[in-house]
Amino acid sequence: MLRETLSVMRDLPRLHTIASVLIHYGWGDVVRMLGLARVLERAGKLLHWHTSDEVAKLDLPVRIRLAMTDLGPTFVKLGQILATRVDVFPPGWIAEFEQLHSKVPPVSFDLLRPLLEVKYGRPLDELFDDLETTAFAAASIAQVHRAKLKDGTPVVLKIRRPDIVEKVEADLRILAHLARLVEFEMPELRRYRPIQIVAQLRRSLMNELDLAKEARNLSVFARNFVDDDTVRVPKVYWDYCGEIVNVQEELRGVPAGDLAGARAAGMDLRVLSERGADAVLKMILVHGHYHADPHPGNIIFLPGNRVGMLDFGMVGRLTEARRAQLTDFLGALINKDEQALLNVLTVWAGDAEVDEDKLAFDLTEIIFSYDDLPLREIRIAPLLSDVTAVLRENHLAIPPDLTLLFKALITLEGLGHQLNPEFHMVDHLEPFVLEVIEERYSPGVLFRRIKRGFHDLGEVVTSLPRDLARLLRQARRGRMRIDLDLKRLDHFGQQLNDAANRLTVGVLTASLVIGSSIIMTVPQAPYMLGLFGFLLAMANGIWLVYSIWRSGKE
């Protein structure tokens, strides 16, 4: 499978880099197991199988983090996503993944200027004043420059780095192939859902690469908070936005990490912690569209104890059904209801096998350990950590679309405690959960649900005769088809195909030997034709032996 899927030659240089970095950090066995070495050797690219003694002494999670850092933005982003998988990785691994940052030196503005002038169709001096050619912030995907519009409005230009798209797309193709290989060939790792993780990575990176999408996110959040004067989202200047650049209002205030500066500016840290928590919880539970990375670097404090939010490249979205499940989950945690918690977790487990008795016992143990604590003393981060530890022990995983959300909640609680040691996340969480539950059972919502249910039932009833008639016609004509999704069927088919090919070559080789022997024994027959037949048969025989030997190694 890997040999075929990685046959596209354009990815071989990047594949060589990835394999070399993995070997350098002591992952040579993984390179061999995945078949990367064979692919590269056949393409004429040599690998140096050497790991330094200093690297070999490092702990495994540290080596993984260093390898991801060296491999660049795609793998850094993958590590950041894995840092949200507290249901899969133990705390030591999560701590290493959390150290992954995509801060890199900015590229020269001389490389960016031609791209921007092609996009705008005119010189930048005609659009902006005081454009700073030195970036004041830079990451692996984009960098930020200050400027002013012609009317004097302070803005920032977020500009995508050149050539980043091609590199990310090559990485994503390779990771997608490897994820499929792992899921098909390593059943013990299937529960980690590698294909879903890579799909989540692709969505996240594609959204971040298109800076116009971030501008749209800004507009959505600004619209959601249009009536809330305690929260500020930068205004977007759409006339200057596109895929490689977005231009937005510059919010000037005190960074959330500068507590001394906030106190010096006369700001109330307790009020700021409450307003920040309420804003993020409102995004999650009410809007279903939330800032997925609310760390101090993406939050700024403005005069009047207002909270400004920046960098909307990473956002999360929740469907109505998922929001309902999340509300039930949080409500079960707040109310210490292990049965309700069990119900939600079994839904999230999907098709995975669940030992409900063991899971129920483990959840009861967690609830019991918090039983003596007053509600306001319960911290969300340790509680979620305990729940995800239970999931790991029961070989279950949280749906990928919720891992970012749990990480956001934990980050938000940590920031709240930095601002106010008396901050209690549950005090802010409980009112939102109760409000959402009450709204779910309000007369208007119930009427809409009943109406939708009757509509769906009517569709099923009216389409049933037509569907049955079609099924019977197909059965009479012998055209009824049943699709079976067998995980290893493709691989088995490939093995049969390879065996048939070797058998065909073997028959042809035998035919060449017999035919050449006859030619060379017949007087006045073309001797060179018989010799050529023998040489071709010998070449086929060598290839056949090598092919059989190689198949035993794979």
Q: Is residue 98 part of a domain?
A: no
Q: What is the tens place of the pLDDT at every residue in 476-505?
A: 777 767 665 555 556 666 667 777 777 777
Taking residues 383-409, report their average pLDDT: 80
Average pLDDT over residues 238-259: 91
Residue 75, in any domain of the structure: no
**Domain identity same for 148 and 209:** yes
Residue 2 has a pLDDT of 43
Mean pLDDT of 433-462: 76
Same domain? 437 vs 450:
no
Contact 197, 178 (CB under 8 A): no
Sheet containing 306-309: order of strands = 231-232, 306-309, 299-302, 254-255
Give residue 5's pLDDT. 45
Range picked from 9-18, 269-278, 413-422 for highest mean pLDDT: 269-278
Has residue 422 been placed in a domain?
yes
Is residue 48 assigned to a domain? Answer: no
Question: Which region among 136-150, 448-462, 517-531 has the lowest average model confidence (pLDDT)?
Answer: 517-531
Instruction: Tell which wins on pLDDT, 479 or 246.
Output: 246
pLDDT at 286 over 80: yes
Beta bridge partners of 160: 142
Q: Quick check: is 412 in a domain?
A: yes
- Bridge partners (DSSP) of residue 308 are 232, 300
Q: What pLDDT is attached to residue 426?
A: 82
Does residue 474 register a pLDDT over 70?
A: yes
Per-residue pLDDT at 174: 82
Residue 41's pLDDT is: 62
Q: What pLDDT, on the 0 to 100 scale, is given for residue 6?
A: 43
Both tokens of residue 127?
A: 């659009």
User: Is 293 part of the annotated catalytic residue set?
Assistant: yes
Task: Please report which confidence band the pLDDT of residue 355 belongs to, taking 50, 70 and 90 as the band edges.
Answer: confident
Q: Which domain covers residue 536, as residue numbers?
A: 489-553
**Among residues of the chain, what percentage have pLDDT more than 90?**
17
Phi first, then psi: what are they for 161, rounded to 5°? -70, 145
Specify the higher pLDDT residue, 6 or 15. Answer: 15
Average pLDDT over residues 89-94: 81
- For residue 27, what are its two tokens? 């992952």
Q: 436 pLDDT exceeds 60?
A: yes
Quote the number of domains for the chain. Answer: 4
Which residue in 293, 311, 328, 362 is the catalytic one?
Answer: 293
Which pLDDT band holds residue 47 (cuts at 50, 70, 90)? low
| Averaged pLDDT for residues 384-398 | 80
Assess whether pLDDT exceeds 60 at residue 332: yes
Pairwise pLDDT comparison (67 vs 551), residue with the higher score = 67
Do 317 and 452 belong to one domain?
no
- Whether 4 is in a domain gets the answer no
Pairing of strands 315-317, 299-302: unpaired
Judge whether 303 lies within some domain: yes
Same-domain status, 210 and 353: no
Q: Name the pLDDT band for 44 (thresholds 50, 70, 90).
A: low
Measure the CA–CA gap between 459 and 152, rounded to whole angstroms: 58
Say what the pLDDT of residue 159 is: 94
The pLDDT confidence band at residue 148, using thresholds 50, 70 and 90, is very high
Segment 44-60 shows an average pLDDT of: 71
Q: Which is more confidently placed, 446 or 302?
A: 302
pLDDT tier at 391, thresholds 50, 70, 90:
confident
Same domain, 494 and 376: no
Q: Is residue 232 part of a domain?
A: yes
- Based on the fold, state whether residues 288 and 354 are members of the same structural domain: yes
Last residue of a domain, one of 226, 250, 274: 250
What is the maximal distance between C-alpha atoms in the chain?
A: 110
Instruction: Determine contact, residues 332/324, Cβ cutoff 8 Å.
Output: no
Is 90 exceeded by the pLDDT of residue 387?
no
Range name among 256-260, 292-296, 335-339, 362-366 with the lowest pLDDT average = 292-296
User: Of 250, 278, 309, which one is at a domain's C-terminal end?
Assistant: 250
Please compute the mean of the pLDDT values over residues 345-352 and round it to a whole number.
79
Give the pLDDT score at 37: 64
Q: What is the mean pLDDT of residues 58-64?
A: 84
Inter-residue contact 326 to 347 (CB < 8 Å):
no
pLDDT for 525: 64
pLDDT band at 3 (very low <50, low <70, confident <90, very high): very low
pLDDT at 240 (0 to 100): 92
| 239 touches 246 (CB < 8 A) | no
Is the domain of 228 the same as that of 373?
no
For residue 46, what pLDDT is reported? Answer: 59
Based on the fold, state whether residues 269 and 217 are members of the same structural domain: no
Mean pLDDT (the chain) is 80
Residues 112 and 184 in one domain: yes
Give the residue from 219, 396, 419 showing the smallest Cα distance to 307: 419
Higher local confidence (pLDDT), 78 or 496: 78
Judge if 305 and 392 occupy the same domain.
Answer: yes
Q: What is the pLDDT of residue 552?
A: 57
Query: Does the structure show a pLDDT above 60 at 43?
Result: no
Lowest mean pLDDT among 141-155, 426-440, 509-523: 509-523
Mean pLDDT value across residues 434-451: 75
Distance set, CA 544 to CA 159, 516, 540, 548 (Å): 55, 19, 6, 6
Residues 399 and 266 in one domain: yes
Co-location of 452 and 503 in the same domain = no
pLDDT at 8: 47
